[in-house]
Structure 1
């Protein structure tokens, strides 16, 4: 069993994003369609009766009857992933205190995505969301796979986030190949490993905390800068990933 097997074991249920009463420009809708493009995600638009709130994105789950899971404004979705790029996090412009992932994006949990290019911003946002859960819970354990340990250092914003996590009493464990990385702070547990799984996996897992703060992003590199993965807030799945990392790389 490995991280890719855990991804494959999670059932990816169908979900619908409804854009309601939009007067935002059409390019916003096109960007949203590209960002959340996945076999199990359907996007549609509707115009309800006059006087209804506008410029909303509504997430619904398909099952016995349609269940409304979350609502966010188009503006919030745009400000988090559509109208930004990864430099916002790399440079530290958006701090961990300011991470406020729209509910409709977090609610796409347990949906399998294959992303590349700009679409990768979706996974970056969720990784920051899981880190923010760790920061807000305090005293939890965070496991993060960087592929290469040097990545915690070559992105100024990332190192800052992880120093603040340590200051918040989060037990931080980082995983990656033992490349020529500068010294990582002593309070961070380093798991240097050159296995193929570590070199091709991207994960952020928060555990050892109340269930409402548990979360995990899991992704596997399937091509040059192309990733297949998902995120989950199911405590049982999160604990399973954490146990696997402890058993396989804990030493």
Structure 2
């Protein structure tokens, strides 16, 4: 079973995103619809005279669980920014904040490209930040090409910070880089297999705490187009970790 098989095997959770008492302009709402444009995620709006405005509710139709965020949080974190925010290191890893609604869109398979790819970039940083905050355990990260670590200033800073923490960091990808000065504090898994060329994953083992386990797994299915999901389900994270540890 490879990374692609983990993506194929996930059973999507049906989720509904509802904007309650929308006060924001139409383009912002359409951006929200476009960000979560997926068969498993329905975006709607509703009115409730007893509730505040621009509240975003996420409901898992299987479990009935509910997550709540302000639309402004989602806008400032995802809708009105681009990947340069993290590529340039404008947001330090320790300061990454993820709206509850976005984090709880776990266990849904997304196909993203261009602007939408920022959703997966943000979740990658969320998991890296979680590992840094835990300051323990092991983080596995695939870059497709190892040169991406130093090509992007924000990524270089993030992984230097992680390498200097209590987290054991494993990096994966095609060996096309000039290793940075902190490479001796990384466990490097270099190769040129189709899986390493196409896979994007960030997996943290929780440092012994199942509540802090997390994984994003995705594969490139076209030029700059990815299919994948993220999960905080310990059983699934353990299966992904077991695969990585036995294969690499």
Q: Which runs of 4+ in 1 moved over 4 A?
A: none
Instruction: Give ranges in structure 2 of 5+ residues lacking alignment.
Output: none
Structure 2 partner of 1:54: 53
Aligned partners of 1:78, 1:191: CA distance in 2, in Å?
Answer: 36
- Conserved? CA contact 2:206–2:212, under 8 Å: no
Q: Does 1:201 align with 2:199?
A: yes
TM-aligned CA deviation for residue 167 of structure 1: 2.0
Structure 1 partner of 2:83: 86
- Conserved? CA contact 1:58–1:68, under 8 Å: no
- Render the CA deviation track for 1:73-102: whole Å, top value 9, x for unaligned: 000001111000111101110011211100
Structure 1 partner of 2:213: 214
Q: Does 1:167 align with 2:168?
A: no
- Conserved? CA contact 2:134–2:206, under 8 Å: no
Aligned partners of 2:138, 2:236: CA distance in 1, in Å?
Answer: 15
TM-score by length of 1: 0.95
- Render the CA deviation track for 1:112-139: whole Å, top value 9, x for unaligned: 0000010001001100111011011111
Aligned-pair RMSD on alpha carbons?
1.2
Structure 2 partner of 1:7: 7
Structure 1 partner of 2:24: 24
Aligned partners of 2:203, 2:34: CA distance in 1, in Å?
Answer: 26
Give the alignment of 1:1-251 within 5 angstroms: 1-49=1-49, 51-63=50-62, 67-183=64-180, 185=182, 186-209=184-207, 210-249=209-248
Instruction: Give ranges in structure 1 of 5+ residues lacking alignment.
Output: none
TM-aligned CA deviation for residue 184 of structure 1: 5.5
- Conserved? CA contact 2:139–2:202, under 8 Å: yes
Return 183-192 or 231-240, whichever deviates more: 183-192
Aligned partners of 1:135, 1:147: CA distance in 2, in Å?
Answer: 22
- Conserved? CA contact 2:216–2:228, under 8 Å: yes
Aligned partners of 2:230, 2:119: CA distance in 1, in Å?
Answer: 11
TM-score by length of 2: 0.96
Aligned residues: 246
- Render the CA deviation track for 1:29-48: whole Å, top value 9, x for unaligned: 11111111111000100011
